[in-house]
Amino acid sequence: MEATIALAGNPNSGKTTLFNTLTGARQHVGNYPGVTVEKKQGTYSRGGLDIKIVDLPGTYSLNPYSMEEEVARDFLLNDQPAMVIDIVDASNLQRNLYLAIQLMEMGLNVCLALNMIDIARTRGIEIDTEKLSRLLGVPVVPTIARTGEGSKMLIEAASKASQYDRSPLTISYGDDLDQALDEMEDLISGKDFLGDICHPRWIALKYLEKDGKIISQGRERDPELSAELGEITRRVADHLEKTMNTYPEAVIADHRHGYIRSIIKGVITRHHGEDRFFLSDRIDMVLTNRFVGPLIMIGVIMGLYKFTFTYSELPVNWLESLFGWLSSSADAALPDGLVKSLIISGVIDGVGGVLGFVPLIMFMFLGISLLEDSGYLARMAYMLDRVFRYFGLHGSSVMAFIVSGGIAGGCAVPGVMATRVLKSPKERLATLLTAPFMNCGAKLPVFALLVAAFFSENEAMVMLAITLIAWCGALIVAKILRLTIIRGESTPFVMELPPYHLPTFRGLFIHTWERTWEYIKKAGTVILGISIVLWAMMTFPALPESQQTEYERQRQGLLASTPSETIHEVETAQGRTLPTEESPALQTGIEAIDRAENEARVRYSLAGRIGVALETISSLAGFDWRTNIALVGGLAAKEVVVSTLGTVYSLGETDPEESSSLAETLRESPHWSPLAAWSLIIFTIFYAPCIVAVVCIAREAGSWKWGAFSVVFNTSLAFGLSAIVFQTGRLLGF
């Protein structure tokens, strides 16, 4: 006959995992007779062994207080397995050994599987297995059920030990109970009372514990003896009540715990980890408190935000000056023409655009590394998980959203990179595709321009509305994506919170630098090419020779009408050195011609033609060709929208930060209305991310497919929403 091994253990100790490891596919699931408790059986046949394995229900004790406990105990008493493997959670030995003690008291052949030894180790708990085995008198085998580590050794140890009969464990329960137990034991063994169920001392113990099931069985067999045992129990209970104000069950439990404590005292060594855990729990009582926690979290988020965007300002400015200097040097050194334009607008601006993000990324990663390494990030995720989970995201998604501009003024490039803290690929993808909907710093000038032009009375309200629209849009789109193309179960949130610890400077520095360098390598190479393509789109085809000469002729005509002694060399907006004079009239005149030429040039270029061609469709959302060109330009970088609008409205290059004259122009333009402004605001929030962000999305998502998706999907979504807003608004008569 094949031997039976039963797996016992507390709930969540890893019984089922171990059972699956041992039996593989050879298992049979049924119910214990008459109850709904699941009974799992299987066979282990390896290395010449052929063993039947039964997975008992998880229990903390063997007093039949619950159906699971009763089922487990009945099985052990009736089927008398050759061996019971008690799976104990090594990180929680004190509590788990309670069941082991009871099994051993029953006189069963027990073997301990010290499971989750990996978790115990990471918590700094070291267990001397040999000593534990010696003290308990049973084999003890460390295991990691999840990986199967130790399972072979466990079975070998168990089947070897099953060949020896062991005597039941006897624990002292103090003088009073020990005396009663001895007395009862004598009576029981004299009559072989319930001898088929268990050994005498255990039956006596059950009488002391007032175990209803055993007592009623005893009453049936031998009412007289049962009454006698009941009388002894009453006597000792009265005595305990009088002397110590306690009762037998409590004394028994106390002594069992005491016995366990004395055993593990010399077996467990706790490293600093345990103390850290204790301290961490204390800290968590405040930091993840239901009321204070969120407030602290808002503070931390604001802090990170400020840190990223305020302190990076200085190096950003240095880089800007550096590239400004490079531009003007190139300007001075190179002759006018295409090459110069390519080098300045294509190469220097492109590379500058990429490197301009470097300080931002460094500061953001430094901040996030700090939060991650210290353990706080896990707490944030823990607190926010319920909200984000509803939208198919993860608590850790919040970082990406905030950094991308969840508080207006972030940047999607570091935001997309911040999704690295997400471990699950699906939630990460959904986050990095929706984070660019946040209002990054480059979209702000566009909003500022439109708000100044059309909603100057309630600026704050409109800006708040814009922020809310971005958040709602991002979360709803995330939900939709997670229900459709990125469908899949959310990863179960790992509740385990790592202990807090102070990050090291070295660790922070290395983390930050690695990530930043990766960005430079990954984005830098592609951006240069794309930036040149965009430059070419705005430059070619060039204005026909005849038109260029016509503008030149106008300028010369204006000059000719001016007295020559007041003429000096002055640089125009286009960077061309032209003779002009101190009279404002002439200067304005020349600049007006320059701008007209600029407008014509942009309109004539490929970007311009696309803008014009799109006008038929884009008018649905209220955009004319000028807006279209600006939006195409915005693909390079969102701040270009404002400067391009300036160009096409013949105002010359417009500094995005000082656009008041442009605002005025828009307000008075017949093409514009508050409704059209709203439409453009909506479009700006949702349309394709700038090119650097797209490259980052493609890199982080691991495929250009997702980069392309974010361009096409976001732009379609943005256009759909804008058109709906514009058309509905018109119907309602705005």
**Least gap, CB of 47 to ligand GDP (angstroms):** 22
Q: Dihedral sign, CA of 246, 250, 256, 257?
A: negative
Are the C-beta atoms of residues 174 and 244 closer than 8 Å to each other?
A: no
Identify the residue whose tokens are 């699971």. 68
Q: E strand or H helix at 577, and its extent?
A: strand 577-581
From Mg ion, ligand GDP, none, interface partner of 531 (C-beta below 5 to 8 A by class): none
CA distances from 616 to 352, 599, 610, 682 (A): 35, 20, 11, 19
By CB under 6 A, residue 84 contacts ligand GDP: no
Question: Cα(67)–Cα(64) distance, rounded to whole angstroms?
Answer: 7
Nearer to Mg ion, 27 or 715 (CB): 27
Q: Are 184 and 234 in contact (CB under 8 A)?
A: no
Stretch that binds ligand GDP, among 110-118, 240-248, 330-338, 609-617 (CB under 6 A): 110-118
In this chain, which of 4, 8, 14, 469 binds ligand GDP, going by CB under 6 A? 14
Nearest residue (CB) to ligand GDP, 114 versus 662: 114
- Cβ-closest position to ligand GDP: 14
Is 144 near ligand GDP (CB under 6 A)? Answer: yes
How many chain residues bind Mg ion (CB under 5 A)?
Answer: 1
Binding mask 224-263 vs ligand GDP (x if CB under 6 A, - otherwise)? ----------------------------------------
Q: Do residues 380 and 395 touch, judged by C-beta distance below 8 A?
A: yes
**Neighbour-count burial for 171-192, b at 16+ CB within 10 Å, e otherwise:** bebeebbeebbebbbebbeeee
User: Given candidates 103, 116, 602, 651, which one binds ligand GDP under the rule CB under 6 A?
Assistant: 116
* Dihedral over Cα of 135, 139, 141, 146: its sign: negative
Euclidean distance between CA atoms 112 and 260, whole angstroms: 14
Among 39, 46, 121, 146, binds ligand GDP (CB under 6 A): 146
- Contact range with ligand GDP by CB under 6 A, out of 6-14, 132-140, 181-189, 602-610: 6-14
User: How many residues of this chain bind ligand GDP (CB under 6 A)?
Assistant: 16
Q: CA–CA distance from 85 to each of 10, 82, 362 (Å)?
A: 12, 10, 53
User: At its nearest, how many Å lie between Mg ion and the CB of residue 19?
Assistant: 8
Question: Using CB under 5 A, which of the segments 14-22, 114-122, 138-146, 509-517 binds Mg ion?
Answer: 14-22
Interface with ligand GDP by CB under 6 A: which range of 13-21, 91-99, 336-344, 598-606? 13-21
The answer to whether 628 and 611 have CB atoms below 8 angstroms apart is: yes
> Is the Cβ of residue 147 or residue 172 nearer to ligand GDP in the bound state?
147
Q: In 357-443, which residue ranges form alpha helices assigned H by DSSP?
A: 358-374, 376-390, 397-401, 412-418, 425-434
Residue 375 to residues 277, 362, 383: CA-CA distances in angstroms? 12, 20, 13
Q: Does residue 354 touch ligand GDP according to CB under 6 A? A: no
Please say which residue, 144 or 287, places its beta carbon nearer to ligand GDP.
144
Binding of residue 92 to Mg ion (CB under 5 A): no
Beta carbons of 436 and 687 less than 8 angstroms apart: no
Q: Where on the phi/psi map is residue 113: left (φ > 0), alpha (ψ -120 to 50), or beta?
A: beta
Contact segment (CB under 6 A) with ligand GDP among 8-16, 160-168, 399-407, 416-424 equals 8-16
Q: Which stretch binds Mg ion (CB under 5 A): 12-20, 324-332, 444-452, 458-466?
A: 12-20
Q: Is 13 in the site for ligand GDP (CB under 6 A)?
A: yes
Could you say whether residue 42 binds ligand GDP (CB under 6 A)? no
8 A C-beta contact, residue 429 and residue 710: no
- 118 forms part of the interface with ligand GDP (CB under 6 A): yes
Q: Is 516 in the site for ligand GDP (CB under 6 A)?
A: no
| Single-letter amino acid code for the residue at 671 | H
Is residue 115 a contact point for ligand GDP (CB under 6 A)?
Answer: yes
Under rule CB under 5 A, residue 27 binds Mg ion: no
Q: Is 176 in the site for ligand GDP (CB under 6 A)?
A: no
Does 11 contact ligand GDP by CB under 6 A?
Answer: yes
Q: What span, in angstroms and rounded, lies between the C-alpha atoms of 137 and 168?
A: 11
Contact of 370 with 303, CB cutoff 8 Å: no
Residue with tokens 């656009």: 659
Closest of 705, 707, 675 to residue 688, by C-alpha:
707
Interacting stretch for ligand GDP, rule CB under 6 A, among 9-17, 60-68, 379-387, 448-456? 9-17
Interacting residues toward ligand GDP by CB under 6 A = 9, 11-17, 58, 115-116, 118-119, 144-146
Interacting residues toward Mg ion by CB under 5 A = 16
